[in-house]
Amino acid sequence: MAIWWLMLAVLGISLLLTWVLRRYALARSLMDIPNNRSSHSVPTPRGGGVAIVLSFLVASPLLTFLVDVPWSYIWALWGAGALIAVIGFLDDHGHIAARWRLLAHFSASIWALAWLGGLPPVKLLGVDFNLSWVGHFFAVFYLVWMLNLYNFMDGIDGIASVQAVSACLGACVIYWLSGDVSLIWMPLLLAVAVLGFLYWNFPPARIFMGDAGSGFLGLILGLFSLQAAWTSSRFLWVWLILLGVFIVDSTFTLARRLLRGDKVYEAHRSHAYQFASRQFGRHLPVTLAVMAINVFWLLPIAMCVGLFDLDGSMGMVLAYVPLVLLAIRFHAGELEKAG
């Protein structure tokens, strides 16, 4: 019973803290001002993702006492998550050079992997692959990419929050049905922390998440996938499927911009979700569409992988092919036409 009171408290703290941060941002004029690279048209307070970070990090150690979450897992999330949140918070308040941000990203990823034990063996087409140090190397880049892609995808009202909540709750359902109940609590804690913020961020948003929140979410979700893979490698595939909308849109967009020779570190609004929001003229239909894809397409496939022995790589291909077609349909990575 105590665990559910904790979840309710985190929801309330996140909700209240987001309101406080919104008042703080308005008082300090910490506003996201629209420009030609923006997907919004009204100046909006930013930095609300700090509510997610604080409510999650403060509550997570309590899980060690309530449901026996290992301290190594807590230290991985705390050290890496806090570093990324601080760097993002500072960047929200004033520009930090890309090289220093990237150094922090790699440092946080290495710290977390050291506590988690690196990349576990991965099953591919029925064969277990233990990649050892090569796998740990790729795992670092995986976490850095997850962190940055989440930042890239946090461009319209509610989309990053909805993605986090639906992925976390989807994973919790699969863990529960598979009997791996001990894995549920961290994703559930993050989901309720994000829900408190989502009340203020749902279209039309009254506050934006900011880099402190989006980078934190990307890293933590990546860590969830690696930690769960130590229980069963199929859970890594489950997370990759549940996060498919963000992974496909961001990766497809980056690849197309790289092939065109664009400066990929420059701000742009050429992701599929950004083209879609301009086509529909509002953010709400796109955010709701992402939720629908997650619930009605990606979750059933993830359940087949997690519960019914569908090969993870085959499940990911099945999940991603329509997402790639949607990315092409909505011009992901294309140059925005003038006028």
Position 91 confidence tier, pLDDT thresholds 50, 70, 90: confident
- pLDDT classification of 335: cutoffs 50, 70, 90: confident
Which stretches within 202-243 are classed as H helix? Answer: 210-229, 234-242
**Residue 102 half-sphere exposure, CB side, CA atoms within 13 Å?**
6
Phi/psi region, residue 309 (left: phi>0; alpha: psi -120 to 50; beta: rest), is: left
Predicted confidence at residue 40, as pLDDT, reads: 62
- Output the pLDDT for position 92: 77
pLDDT exceeds 90 at position 265:
no
Q: What end-to-end distance do the CA atoms of the chain give, in Å?
A: 57
pLDDT digits (tens, 9 = 90+) for 129-169: 777 778 889 999 999 999 999 999 998 999 999 999 999 99
Scan for tokens 């190397």, then name that residue.
Answer: 137
Res 3: pLDDT: 93
Percent of the residues in the chain that have a pLDDT greater than 90, as a whole number? 73
- Summarize the confidence of residues 86-91 as an average pLDDT: 89
Q: Which of 168-177, 199-208, 317-326 is least confident?
A: 199-208
Round to whole Å and give the CA distance between 232 and 226: 10
Is the pLDDT higher at 331 or at 262?
331
d(CA 328, CA 131): 33
Q: Peptide bond before 70: cis, by omega within 30 degrees of 0?
A: no
Q: What is the pLDDT of residues 204-260, one digit of tens each?
A: 999 999 888 999 999 999 999 999 999 999 999 999 999 999 999 999 999 999 888
Output the pLDDT for position 339. 45
The whole-number average pLDDT for the span 298-311 is 95
pLDDT of 310 > 80? The answer is: yes
Q: What is the pLDDT of residue 37?
A: 61
Helix axes 272-280 and 244-260, enclosed angle (nearest 10): 100
pLDDT tens profile 43-86: 788 889 999 999 999 999 999 999 999 999 999 999 999 999 99
| Residue 269, pLDDT score | 85
305: tokens are 């992988």
- Whether 338 has a pLDDT exceeding 60, the answer reads no
Q: What does the buried/exposed string (b/e) look like for 98-110 if buried means 16 or more CB atoms within 10 Å of the residue's CB? A: eeebeebbebbbb
The mean pLDDT of the chain is 91
How many helices and strands in the chain, by DSSP H and E? Answer: 15, 4
Q: Could you tell me the pLDDT band of residue 36, with boundaries at 50, 70 and 90?
A: low
108 or 210, greater pLDDT = 108
